[in-house]
A and B are shown apart, each in its own frame.
Chain A
C-alpha cells in the first residue's frame, strides 16, 4: 500500500464513520453530502499534495494517492481527487492560490470546446465531477489555467453510472476569477496522466473492497446446506476477483511509487489499461457470486461496481493501451523486455 500508513489509517477510520449506507444513498439522491465534505475537509484530506504556501496541506502526491485508495474502498462520493491532486495542482503549479473549498476540474475531451481569447473563456466542458456543488471549476485552456466561479457558469446537471454528478458547464466570454499561464510541467499530457492515476488508485481501492465483500457474502450465504464459498465454481469467481485485486493494487502501488520518483508515464498507461480490464472481470465475477442480492440498491456492491464502470472510462483506458503499444512498436523487439523491466526509466 502506497502513501503514508498513518494517514491512510486515519482516513479509513473517518470514511468508515461517515460513509454509511444511509449517507451514500442520501449523497446519491442529493448529489452532495455537506456533513461528509465537512468531516473530510476538517481532516485536511482534500488539500494533501497542495503546497502549504498555496493554501494546501502539504504532503506528497503519493500521500494523496494513498488516501484515494482508501476513498475508493469506501466509495466516497466526493471530489477528493479533483480538489487537491487535479484542480489544486493546476492552480498551485501555475502560481495561483488554492481556495479551501470544493473544487473540480476535468481534462478536455473530443466534443469539448473551451477556448481562451486572452482575457475571457468561451465554450463547453462535459463530465465535470460535482460541478454544481463546487465553488469553482478549474480548467486548462490553450496553455492557460483558469479558475471559473461556479455561479458565473451555466451548469447542466448529469450523472455517471454511479449517480455521481458529472455536469456540463458552459460560458460565453467569461472573465475568470483567477488565471495564469500554465506553470512548468502543467500541460494537457500531464493533466491526463495525473487524472488517469487518480482513477487507478480509486479503482484499486474499490476492487479490493469488491473482493472483501464477495468473500464475506459467499461465506455467509448458504445453499444446499453449506456456504456457497465451498463450491468450486464459486471459488473460481473469488480467485478471479482476487487476481484482479492483486493486479489493480500492484499497478496502483508501482505507478504511485514511480510518479513520486518523477517519471511514470509508462506505468500510468499500463496501470489504467489493467485497471479497466480488472474492473470488467471483477465486476462480472462479483455480481455472479452475489446472485440477486448484488443487483439491489440495499446491498453495498453496486456502490462499488457502478463507480468502477465510470472510472474505467474516465481519463480513458483503450487509448493508453495504444500509447503503450505505440512505444513498443517504435522501440522494436530488442527493447521490449528491457522496457517491461525498467518501465519509464527506459524511455529516457
Chain B
C-alpha cells in the first residue's frame, strides 16, 4: 500500500477538547470584535493592516503562539495556531499588520537569531506591535532567489547595504524587513547569501510605492543606498542565508491562508442571496466548494499536527499550497458564472465590491511565497523513489 511506501503522507487528525475550547474562545472574541456581516471583510493575508486589532490579538496570546514564553510567546502548538488562524481568516479579519511577523519572521528569528535579537524583537511581535516585511524579491530575482544582487559589504562595526528590493508588501508602514543580501561571490551561487534584520526607518533607505493592480498601496520598492546595518542585525550566520531562507519558506506554506482567502466572498454571496432564488447549479457549486474547504482544512490540519510531532512536511505543504491557491481562484470563476450582474467596485452590494477586489488581487496568491510552477517542483521531489 502506498502509505507505507514513502510517498507524501497526510494522517487524518481532529481537534482535541482543549483545541475545541480555544476555537470557541476565538469565535466569541471575534463575535464581539468583528460580528459576521457587520463590515467589509478582508481577503486572507491581503486583509487591511490594523495595528490596534493586532494588539488585541497579542493581548489574548494569539500572536507568536509558538514562540518561547521568555520572549512573550505562548509555547503553544502549530495546531493551536492553526485554530486561531482559520477563525481569523474565515472572518476576513484585518490581519495585515501582524501577518508576516507572526507567520514567519518571528519563527525565523527564534530559530536563527541572536539572544539580543530575540530579546528585542520577539516581544514586539508577540504583542502585535511590530510589523515585518519580506525583503527577498528583486528586479532580477524572483523565483530564482539565488540571483539576488543587493549587496552587503563589510564596514566598521557592521555592514553597508546597497540594492533594490521589490514587491515588498507593507514596507511603507512596517518596522523591519528581513532582507536577503549577497555577501560573497563564490562559484556556488547558493553560498555567500546572508539575511539581515533591516530597520525600515534607517538612513539611506527609501520606500517607493508600487500601485497594486486594484489601485491600492500595498506593494513597494525599497531602495537601499549605503544603509548601515550593525553586526548585531545579521540574522543567523553570514553565508547561511540560503538555507535559512528555505526554512522560512516552509513556514509560509500549507496553512489555512492558502485556501481561505476567497472564503469571505462566497460567504457574502450567501449572505446577500435570496435562498429561494438559488437554482440547482448554485446549490451544487456551494456543495462542491464546501466539500473542498472541508478536505483542504483536514489536509492543512494534518500538516500542522505533523509539525507538532516533529515532522518536516515541506513537500506536503507545497502540495496543499499549490492546490489551495488554485481553488481560491476557481471559486471566483465559478461565482462569475452563476451571477447575472456585471460586478462593479462601486456597487451597493458588499458582495460585488469584495468580488471585484478578489478577482483583481487573488492571482497574486499563486505567485507569492513560491509560484505554482516552483511548488510543483518542490512537491515532485517528494514523489521520487
Q: Interface of A with B (CB < 8 Å)?
A: 1-2, 8, 12, 69-70, 73, 205, 208-209, 211-212, 215-216, 219, 229, 232, 235-236, 238-239, 242-243, 245-247, 249-251, 253-254, 257, 267, 269-271, 273-274, 277, 318, 320-326, 328-330, 332-334, 336-337, 339-341, 343
Binds A, one of B130-138, B242-250, B375-383: B375-383
12 A–B pairs (Cβ distance < 8 Å), ordered by A: A208-B3, A219-B385, A235-B377, A239-B380, A246-B10, A269-B291, A320-B287, A321-B287, A324-B290, A325-B284, A328-B287, A339-B290
Q: Does B153 touch A at the CB level, under 8 Å? A: no
Q: Report Cα–Cα, A229/B376, bound state, in Å.
A: 12
By a CB distance below 8 angstroms, the chain A residues around B7 are 211-212, 215, 242
Nearest-CB residue, chain A, relative to B280: A322
Q: A340 and B293 in contact (CB under 8 A), knowing A232-B376, A325-B284?
A: yes
By a CB distance below 8 angstroms, the chain B residues around A320 are 287
Q: A322 and B283 in contact (CB under 8 A), knowing A73-B2, A273-B291, A333-B267?
A: yes
Nearest-CB residue, chain A, relative to B3: A1
Instruction: Check A247–B295 contact: CB distance below 8 A.
Output: yes
Question: Which of A69, A219, A251, A270 is the most central at the interface, judged by chain B CB atoms within 10 Å of its CB?
Answer: A270
Extra contacts, 14 of them, besides A249-B3, A249-B10, A250-B302 (Cβ < 8 A), are A73-B2, A208-B3, A215-B385, A232-B376, A243-B319, A246-B320, A250-B10, A271-B295, A322-B284, A325-B287, A332-B271, A332-B275, A336-B270, A336-B290
Per-residue interface assignment for chain B, residues 129 to 163, with 1 indicating a CB less than 8 Å from any chain A CB and 0 otherwise: 00000000000000000000000000000000000
Q: Does B86 touch A at the CB level, under 8 Å? A: yes
Tell me which of A2, A321, A336 contacts B284 (CB under 8 A).
A321
Question: Which of A12, A205, A254, A341 is the most central at the interface, judged by chain B CB atoms within 10 Å of its CB?
Answer: A341
Give the shortest distance, in Å, between A274 (CB) and chain B (any CB). 5
Question: Which of B3, B36, B295 is the most central at the interface, judged by chain A CB atoms within 10 Å of its CB?
Answer: B295
By a CB distance below 8 angstroms, the chain B residues around A235 are 376-377, 380, 383
Give the shortest distance, in Å, between B211 (CB) and chain A (any CB). 32
Q: Does B240 touch A at the CB level, under 8 Å? A: no
Tell me which of A271, A323, A326, A328 contacts B270 (CB under 8 A).
A328
Question: Which of A257, A334, A337 is the most central at the interface, judged by chain B CB atoms within 10 Å of its CB?
Answer: A337
Nearest-CB residue, chain B, relative to A338: B27
Interface residues on B, range: 35 or more
6 closest Cβ pairs, A-B complex: A325-B287, A324-B287, A321-B287, A270-B291, A325-B283, A333-B271
The A contact surface, by secondary structure, is helix
Q: In the complex, how many residue pairs between chain A and chain B have their CB atoms under 8 Å apart?
A: 162
Nearest-CB residue, chain A, relative to B91: A337
Q: Report Cα–Cα, A321/B281, bound state, in Å.
A: 10
Q: A333 and B2 in contact (CB under 8 A), knowing A239-B383, A273-B291, A274-B291?
A: no
Q: Report Cα–Cα, A170/B60, bound state, in Å.
A: 67
Tell me which of B12, B263, B286, B295 contacts A337 (CB under 8 A).
B263
Q: Does B288 touch A at the CB level, under 8 Å? A: yes
Instruction: Check B287–A242 contact: CB distance below 8 A.
Output: no
